[in-house]
Structure 1
Amino acid sequence: MPSTRRKTARLTADDWIAAAFDLLTSDGVAAVKVVTLCQRLKVTKGSFYWHFTDINALFEAMAGAWTDESDSYLRGLTELGTAPPAERIEQMTKRLVDHRTWARESAVREWARSNPTVATAVAALDNRIFEVVQDTLVELGLGAADARIRAGLLVYAGIGFVESRGSLPTPTPDQIHKMIEIIFD
């Protein structure tokens, strides 16, 4: 007699990574455990070990996925090269007010405090963002030294915004736009 059990789709490594990011974002890195993930996904540990040798392999995959996601975002900004530079800056600031973006960014930055691999990825991304902002400001007509100082203001403010989210008032997109105008005056 054939089984009446309905077959479910097999989880992929990306499914595990997404679930781990959801857990990281909601509960912090200490909550990301095989048992907890299995409970959330309603599967056995065997499913996890089919894709990852251990929790550290999942963490490495998460760090790689986050880096790829961030690189993709930066490529998108670079591809906006035909758009006016001020529009590129505007796109970066809009990303800061997106709840999903800042929540994940904040969680990854917290994770970086205890994981050297993630810390290296965060530092590399911060430096790439700094370069993109600085280059964009040079395109706007600022000299190299002035562009570097203003890029620092923008990038440091962005990181501060992510880190202080929830403890300070959240600026609206219009308020962020006005902050940028002040930097350009």
Structure 2
Amino acid sequence: MSRLSREQWASAALDALSGGGLAAVAVEPLAVRLGTTKGSFYWHFGSREELVEAALQLWRQAGTTSIIERLEAGGASATQRLRQLFTQVFAPQARTDADLALLADAGNPLVASALAEVTEQRLGYIAALFRELGFPPARARRRALLAYSAYLGQLQLLRTAPGLLPKPGPARTAYADDILATLLAGRPEPTE
């Protein structure tokens, strides 16, 4: 049997959290799922809280930081990056289960802190794109809040009434384009 890494434990914890919320992050069931013992867990972590923190860091990296890095590395315009962002987060394969589970567990101090940090990172990035498009800072921040509210609303609809959302494909793309067009309405004219 090979030794499991800290990252493998964190990934398993994030999967458990995504499927069942914070309460699903329990050492013994994770050890069984991973085919190992609790000793492996204690080799990498001093407590369940450390494991949850590692899972939350992995969630932040995979669901926010790496997405921003990919968008920025592509060399696309701000409008194209916004479109790519919307297309990605509104795609059916987008991993939103962790976001939903964490929102449900927002009363936990660890989760609340992670949610606040990630939300600010996401809003800051979206606002920066709107500033790049010529919106003054206050308007850019409001547009970012509106964009993020659309994302959170979609998450809720995916959980409670998925049939209301357009089907994946051209209809879903048109939906994302309509949201983007609404957000870009009133865009300041570029100065030469």
- Report if the CA contact (8 A) 2:143-2:183 is conserved: yes
Shift of 1:138: 2.2
2:65 is matched with 71
Q: Deviations over 1:52-99 (max 9, x none)?
A: 12211111211222233322322333334x311111111221232243
Partner SS, residue 46 of structure 2: coil
Query: 1:143 and 1:35 mapped to 2: Cα distance?
Result: 52
Query: Percent of pairs identical after alignment?
Result: 30
1:53 is matched with 46
Query: 1:174 and 1:9 mapped to 2: Cα distance?
Result: 47
Q: Deviations over 1:94-121 (max 9, x none)?
A: 232243421222223333x132122122
Partner SS, residue 30 of structure 1: helix
**Larger radius of gyration between Structure 1 and Structure 2:** 1
**Structure 2: unaligned runs, 5 residues or longer:** 167-171, 186-192
**Structure 1: unaligned runs, 5 residues or longer:** 1-7
- Report if the CA contact (8 A) 1:96-1:162 is conserved: no
Q: Indicate which of 89, 96, 99 corresponds to 1:102.
A: 96
Partner SS, residue 3 of structure 2: coil
2:169 is matched with none
**182 and 42 in structure 1: CA distance in 2 versus 1, 3 angstrom threshold:** same
Shift of 1:51: 1.4
- Report if the CA contact (8 A) 1:78-1:132 is conserved: no
Q: Deviations over 1:104-149 (max 9, x none)?
A: 22223333x1321221221122122222212212222333343232
1:136 is aligned to 2:157:
no
TM (normalized to structure 1)?
Answer: 0.83
Query: 1:153 and 1:55 mapped to 2: Cα distance?
Result: 36
- Report if the CA contact (8 A) 1:108-1:118 is conserved: yes
Query: 2:121 and 2:47 mapped to 1: Cα distance?
Result: 31
1:167 is aligned to 2:173:
no
Query: 1:47 and 1:100 mapped to 2: Cα distance?
Result: 31
Q: Indicate which of 143, 148, 164 corresponds to 2:141.
A: 148
Give 4+ residue runs of structure 1 displaced > 4 Å after superposition. Answer: none
- Report if the CA contact (8 A) 2:78-2:129 is conserved: yes
2:119 is matched with 126
**100 and 181 in structure 1: CA distance in 2 versus 1, 3 angstrom threshold:** closer
1:84 is aligned to 2:72:
no
Letter in 2 for 1:89: L
1:157 is aligned to 2:150:
yes
TM (normalized to structure 2)?
Answer: 0.80
Q: Deviations over 1:29-51 (max 9, x none)?
A: 21211111112112221121111
Letter in 1 for 2:69: R
- Report if the CA contact (8 A) 1:94-1:173 is conserved: yes
Q: Number of residues paired by the alignment?
A: 176
Query: 1:138 and 1:78 mapped to 2: Cα distance?
Result: 15
